[in-house]
Structure 1
Amino acid sequence: MCESLCRIAKGKGCNVVRADARSLPYRDSSADAVISVAVIHHMSTEKRRMRAIEELMRVLSVGGRACITVWAMEQTHNNIVSEYLKMRGKKCHVQMNRRDSNGRLRVHEGQDFTQQDMLVPWQNADGQRFLRYYHLFVAGELEELCNQISTCEIEKSLYEEGNWIVILRKVSSSQNA
């Protein structure tokens, strides 16, 4: 969670902890519900993405539910354009140094994503520009990751506004179940 969102949540009386998603500072089976919104797509390897999902399952109690959202490679679905594409169409182009392929990450320009792993220009309120890493999930990819974890099952999977979303239910405490 970004620092400014932590401050906002704390100001509303929430107990806020900022931590590594792959090593959460909570006891096993200590939560009835967990959410991971726009987190896992910032992890650069499948192993890291898998570890973050396993960690969500670790802190979740049996029968508890998790909601995970990730950015979709497909920003148009069933002929409906995502809000991200609508926004990109209205914004001025952010000029950044970019590298072409040869196995290197590309900087996202325009509206269409050209590969699954991209650097996306982002500008904060002070006008500072950054490149943020995104792994763009294709249809079925998030489900494939979740299906490798024996402690959970997928209750629901859907696409909404340029994001893939899964709702998981923890079915056991043992990874070998």
Structure 2
Amino acid sequence: MKSPIPDQLALPNETKEEQYVHQIYDEISTHFSNTRYKPWPVVEDFINSLEVGSIGADVGCGNGKYMGLRKGEIYFSGSDYSGGLLEIATSRGHDCMISDCLYLPYRSSLLDFAISIAVIHHLSSYERRRKAILELERIIKPGGKILVFVWALEQSSKRNFDPNLQDVLVPWVMKNNQKKSQKPKPPKSKKPSKSHTSHLESTNLENLDSNKPSNISNSSQYVNIDTHISETAQYTAENTQDNPPESVKDLETDDDSEKVYYRYYHLFKQGELVDLVQNIPSLEIIQSGYDKDNWFVVLKKLET
């Protein structure tokens, strides 16, 4: 499989994110939601470890697949920039609102927990990624916990990311018959297991000192994050190097049977996510690790 396109767009950060993140997820919301129905084990274990009665936020909740976990035991408020995905989430009975992850609609020190799953890697500058972490820190009570997941540069899948290229445009391919409205797959309900932290306890900061990403658990099985990439529809770096595209339309395939949507990603290299949060004095890293092409951290807000 060929590599995604290098990000060479001469666009301001907010414009780039609007065209290559926000607009794209609204376009592909139904198709994207149909591939997002199985909770990731580490996220599920984090949610299962929370105390009964906890109140928290799913920042970038998408179709709300995590918001139904432990229903009646904890309370989730969901937010996302994509109206299309929120329409699906609210149709499932979840409490959601449209919101920018850099300006969250919560009072300071209000919530017991927050999760940010596959969101911050869509922000196109260090300053914006750091601000997203600071917003999560702001809305959490002292003693509260935060879980953050981002895509890793060190990929074990077939994407073949260039190890020297962190900012890329990743294709999402839709056949014409997939653009029609489809009923999203309902999330499977699952009772919390008695062992709530089996995945979280199997990794620590020492994992980041090794030369290779360490698996949090050999038994962890994630939904493949991007199973719809087509080799024939992808553009190579040479296609865009001399004439960088300025809009989504410039990257569309000529094949009438399919349409390619490109999403901006900043791929986090080993240690980068830890570095991003380590210089925030009010946050303590409880756990960190790598699993199935993602880096993650579990954070605790300290008493001030």
TM-score by length of 1: 0.75
Q: Which protein has greater RCO, CA pairs closer than 8 Å, 6+ apart?
A: 2
Does residue 66 of the first structure (1) align with residue 146 of the second (2)? yes
Does residue 166 of the first structure (1) align with residue 297 of the second (2)? yes
1:111-155: CA deviation from partner (whole Å, max 9, x where unpaired): 211211101111354254221110000110000000011111110
1:8-29: CA deviation from partner (whole Å, max 9, x where unpaired): 3212222101211111011001
Deviation at 1:166, TM superposition (A): 0.5
SS in 1 for 2:97: coil
Gaps of 5+ in 1: 77-81, 86-110
Deviation at 1:6, TM superposition (A): 1.5
Counting helix residues as a fraction of each chain, which structure ranks higher? Answer: 2
User: For residue 113 of structure 1, what is the aligned residue in structure 2?
Assistant: 161
User: For residue 56 of structure 1, what is the aligned residue in structure 2?
Assistant: 136
Picking from 148, 152, 170, the partner of 2:279 is 148
1:152/1:172 contact within 8 Å kept: no
Instruction: Give the Cα separation in 1 of the matches to 2:299 and 2:277.
Output: 8
1:72/1:162 contact within 8 Å kept: yes
Q: Which residues in structure 2 correspond to 1:18-167 (within 5 Å)?
A: 18-76=98-156, 82=157, 85=158, 111-114=159-162, 115-124=165-174, 125-126=178-179, 127-167=258-298
Counting strand residues as a fraction of each chain, which structure ranks higher? Answer: 1
Deviation at 1:172, TM superposition (A): 3.3
User: For residue 93 of structure 1, what is the aligned residue in structure 2?
Assistant: none
User: For residue 10 of structure 2, what is the aligned residue in structure 1?
Assistant: none
Gaps of 5+ in 2: 1-79, 180-257
1:67/1:165 contact within 8 Å kept: yes
TM-score by length of 2: 0.44
1:41/1:134 contact within 8 Å kept: yes
1:34-86: CA deviation from partner (whole Å, max 9, x where unpaired): 0101100000000000000000000011111010000000112xxxxx4xx3x
1:73/1:136 contact within 8 Å kept: yes
When the two structures are aligned, how many residues end up with a matched partner? 141
The percent identity for this pair of structures is 43
Instruction: Give the Cα separation in 1 of the matches to 2:272 and 2:106.
Output: 27
One-letter amino acid of the counterpart of residue 158, structure 1 = G
Instruction: Give the Cα separation in 1 of the matches to 2:131 and 2:285.
Output: 17
User: Greater Rg, structure 1 or structure 2?
Assistant: 2
CA RMSD of aligned residues (A): 1.4
Q: Where does structure 1 differ by over 2 angstroms across 4 or more consecutive aligned residues?
A: 1-5
